[in-house]
């Protein structure tokens, strides 16, 4: 879904549902992969499910991050109690520190999820706004009017949950991000039996389920099968230095890489800030086992032979400032690649990151490294359920109503299709988008009022950049800009243009041809301003409009381009805004 459509969404404050009704408001993640955030309203109170960020798409020039729209939450701040953090991925916890600037929150999650969220919140100095509540597998807790039960699920970060909300309108089950890995690295299975009991004892009135891989056929590969393949790969790379890049939160992948390294007589060093931090956290919590004797700091590896080294690095998504990207450009301060190095990308590019990943791979190859990725080797498994796994969960949950979540529109559409294939009536499946809501009442599920759900852009210290800035950047990036500066002297009734209009441009035309075109533009602007002055136009606004029109028409006819036109009139009277329009 593009930004344009998003901005047309309703901004009005939604009506509150009746006391006995339960509403779910979707604030992000329905229509894109990222910035997952939903709100459940029970008895007038609000509990969030996740509060994540999204990484910018290719057309979002310069943007660092995209957040959910907090407008509705800020309007209802006094009713917001807390957040259930389903697991520790950035697209689920990454925006918490931004929301905490406006609303203090109780953050509820597994110890690892809390640990990862806490690190992020601390980095942005928002710890004092947060309280943390750790819950264990199958705990059932009450926070305000929210009666919540947490079921273990397998995913690409340990200790994720599906969450059941026992509400006055029955059970709402949120799957969290999950797959059905029958042989997970830590043996902690998705609790199908527990979810089955819930479904048969209480019944699930509304099911909200991860759609990421709804369009992928079959079953996902088990994480442990990837471990075996990494192991085999390590054995075949005897004598080479090995660098493996993966998600820093993928503790089980890190474990399997470390296991393969140690089994092949290699020392492990981690590289990249989030990798260092997460490995430290997971070791402290007993979730990652790498004995001290096999682990070195990256600054202490000089005396170790290449053939005995394994470096686990960040940057598997081609992020430009990451450790791996810096290796590819040759400016990683800790590691310089050379002929014979083997780099393994134990990952798959998230949609939108393909070109950055490709660029990094090219850079690594130019440095003489051998590069291995998931296109040729089994070095990665998805963390999201594919179609057959979704069917298994649907067959166990057998919900009364279903809303697909967590996906692009095509993923959610396919997931809805899959649910009806499983026997759910088409009118029991609602496809929703960001900003929409559903209300559960005695009569069933109906659509509720919309709330604001724009993309909120973060760039540098600006954490709510106006979308028009992006439109301007797009124009500048494709066609450049041209400015015309005209200086006037107005003394009583006498008006004079001082010197010639100055035409300045960037990213438009260059060289001798450019000089010629600018000269023509100068005459066009001068003539237009002279005529306007003769017509009695005197204000800056009027004259800038004349200049913009004349220059714009010339530029488009002469060059067939549409650069940004910036007219500047110096020395004219200030008019009202109205005098600038016709």
Q: In the complex, which residues of this chain contact Zn ion (CB under 5 A)?
A: 89, 91, 177
Classify residue 129 by burial, with Cβ atoms within 10 Å: 0-12, 13-18, 19+. Answer: middle
The beta-strand segments (E) located in 298-357 are 309-313, 342-345
Q: Which is nearer to Zn ion, 226 or 298 (CB)?
A: 226
- Closest distance between Zn ion and the C-beta of residue 36, in Å? 6
Residue nearest to Zn ion (CB): 177
Phi-psi domain of 202 (left: phi exceeds 0; alpha: psi -120 through 50; beta: other)? alpha
- Closest distance between Zn ion and the C-beta of residue 35, in Å? 10
Task: Check if the beta carbon of residue 419 is closer than 8 Å to that of residue 387.
Answer: no
Give the 3-state secondary structure of residue 83: strand
Q: Which is nearer to Zn ion, 114 or 268 (CB)?
A: 114
Number of neighbouring beta carbons within 10 Å of residue 475:
15
- Closest distance between Zn ion and the C-beta of residue 150, in Å? 16
Q: Which is nearer to Zn ion, 155 or 537 (CB)?
A: 155
Q: Which is nearer to Zn ion, 49 or 470 (CB)?
A: 49
Q: Which is nearer to Zn ion, 350 or 566 (CB)?
A: 350
- Closest distance between Zn ion and the C-beta of residue 234, in Å? 27
Q: Where are the alpha helices (DSSP H) in 192-243?
A: 192-201, 223-236
- Closest distance between Zn ion and the C-beta of residue 561, in Å? 41
Number of neighbouring beta carbons within 10 Å of residue 416:
20
Task: Check if the beta carbon of residue 477 is closer than 8 Å to that of residue 489.
Answer: no
Within 13 Å, how many C-alpha atoms sit on residue 261's CB side? Answer: 31
- Closest distance between Zn ion and the C-beta of residue 152, in Å? 14
Measured CA to CA, the distance from residue 243 to residue 310 in angstroms comes to 6
Task: Check if the beta carbon of residue 298 is closer than 8 Å to that of residue 327.
Answer: no
Phi, psi of 97, deg, nearest 5: -65, -30
Eight-class DSSP state of 180: -
Task: Check if the beta carbon of residue 405 is closer than 8 Å to that of residue 26.
Answer: yes
For residue 32, give the nearest of 465, 454, 472 by alpha carbon.
454
Active site residues per annotation: 210, 384
């Amino acid at each position: 879904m593009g930004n344009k459509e998003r901005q047309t969404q309703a901004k009005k404050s939604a009506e509150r549902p009746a006391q006995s009704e339960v509403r779910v408001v979707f604030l992000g993640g329905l229509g894109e992969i990222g910035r997952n955030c939903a709100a459940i309203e029970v008895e007038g109170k609000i509990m969030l499910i996740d509060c994540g960020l999204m990484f910018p798409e290719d057309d979002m020039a310069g943007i660092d991050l995209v957040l959910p729209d907090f407008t509705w939450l800020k309007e209802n701040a006094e009713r917001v109690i807390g957040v259930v953090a389903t697991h520790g991925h950035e697209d689920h916890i990454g925006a918490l520190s931004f929301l905490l600037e406006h609303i203090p929150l109780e953050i509820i999650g597994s110890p690892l999820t809390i640990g990862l969220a806490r690190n992020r919140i601390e980095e942005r100095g928002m710890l004092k706004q947060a309280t943390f509540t750790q819950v264990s597998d199958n705990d059932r807790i009450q926070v305000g009017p929210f009666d919540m039960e947490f079921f273990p699920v397998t995913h690409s970060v340990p200790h994720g949950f599906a969450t059941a909300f026992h509400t006055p309108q029955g059970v709402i089950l949120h799957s969290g991000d999950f797959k059905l890995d029958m042989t997970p690295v830590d043996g902690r299975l998705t609790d199908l039996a527990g979810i089955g009991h819930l479904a048969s004892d209480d019944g699930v009135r509304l099911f909200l389920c991860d759609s990421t891989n709804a369009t992928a056929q079959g079953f996902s590969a088990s994480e442990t099968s990837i471990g075996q393949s990494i192991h085999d790969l390590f054995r075949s790379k005897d004598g080479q230095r090995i660098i493996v890049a993966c998600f820093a939160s993928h503790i089980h992948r890190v474990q399997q890489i470390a296991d393969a390294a140690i089994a092949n007589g290699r020392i492990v060093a981690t590289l990249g800030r989030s990798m260092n931090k997460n490995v430290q956290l997971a070791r402290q919590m007993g979730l990652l086992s790498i004995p001290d004797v096999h682990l070195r700091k990256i600054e202490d590896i000089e005396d170790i032979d290449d053939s005995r080294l394994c470096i686990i690095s960040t940057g598997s998504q081609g992020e430009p400032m990451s450790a791996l990207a810096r290796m590819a450009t040759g400016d990683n301060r800790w590691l310089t690649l050379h002929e014979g190095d083997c780099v393994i990308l134990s990952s798959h590019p998230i949609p939108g990151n393909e070109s950055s990943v490709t660029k990094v791979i090219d850079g690594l190859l130019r440095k003489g490294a051998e590069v291995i990725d998931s296109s040729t080797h089994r070095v990665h498994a998805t963390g999201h359920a594919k179609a057959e796994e979704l069917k298994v969960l649907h067959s166990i949950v057998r919900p009364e109503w279903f809303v697909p979540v967590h996906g692009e529109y095509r993923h959610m559409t396919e997931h809805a299709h899959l649910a009806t294939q499983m026997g759910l009536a088409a009118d029991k499946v609602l496809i929703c988008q960001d900003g929409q809501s559903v209300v559960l009442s005695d009569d069933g599920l109906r659509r509720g009022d919309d709330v604001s759900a724009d993309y909120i852009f973060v760039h540098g210290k600006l954490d709510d950049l106006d979308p028009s800035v992006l439109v301007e950047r797009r124009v500048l990036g494709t066609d450049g800009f041209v400015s015309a500066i005209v200086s006037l002297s107005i003394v009583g009734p006498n008006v004079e243009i001082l010197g010639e209009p100055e035409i300045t441009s960037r990213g438009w035309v260059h060289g001798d041809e450019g000089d010629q075109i600018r000269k023509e533009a100068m005459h066009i602007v001068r003539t237009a301003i002279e005529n306007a002055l003769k017509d009695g136009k005197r204000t800056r606004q009027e004259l800038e409009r004349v200049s913009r029109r004349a220059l714009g028409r010339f530029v488009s006819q002469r060059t067939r381009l549409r650069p940004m036109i910036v007219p500047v009139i110096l020395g004219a009277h200030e008019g009202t805004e109205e005098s600038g329009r016709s």
